[in-house]
């Protein structure tokens, strides 16, 4: 079952550019867990959307789009 899966130790082997987006008020993907991904993937870019829940692309669209566009240029 899903509760027994823990792939965090393998995240350090990811070699592709990675963007981690989190909404401060997300009740689905809880922010404290999203922050952990950055710890396990030191090369990843992490962005916290301070005014968003689970849908930053709707709740903060201008900021979301700017961050995504900049990331995709790299």
- Reported as a single tens digit per residue, the pLDDT across 36-56 is 888 999 899 999 999 999 999
Query: Taking all residues of the chain, what is their mean pLDDT, rounded to a whole number?
Result: 92
User: What are the backbone angles phi and psi of residue 47, rounded to the nearest 5°?
Assistant: -135, 125
Mean pLDDT, to the nearest integer, of 10-37?
Answer: 92
Greater confidence, 2 or 73?
73
Confidence of residue 6 (pLDDT cuts 50, 70, 90): confident
**pTM reported for the whole predicted model:** 0.84
CA 52 to chain centroid, in Å, comes to 13
Per-residue pLDDT at 58: 97
Cβ–Cβ under 8 Å, residues 58 and 26? no
């Amino acid at each position: 079952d899903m509760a027994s899966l823990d792939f965090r130790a393998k995240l350090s082997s990811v070699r592709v550019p990675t963007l981690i987006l989190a909404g401060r008020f997300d009740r689905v993907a809880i922010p404290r867990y999203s922050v952990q991904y950055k710890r396990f993937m030191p090369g990843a870019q992490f962005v916290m959307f301070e005014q968003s829940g689970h849908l930053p692309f709707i709740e903060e669209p201008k900021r979301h789009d700017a961050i995504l566009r900049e990331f995709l240029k790299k």
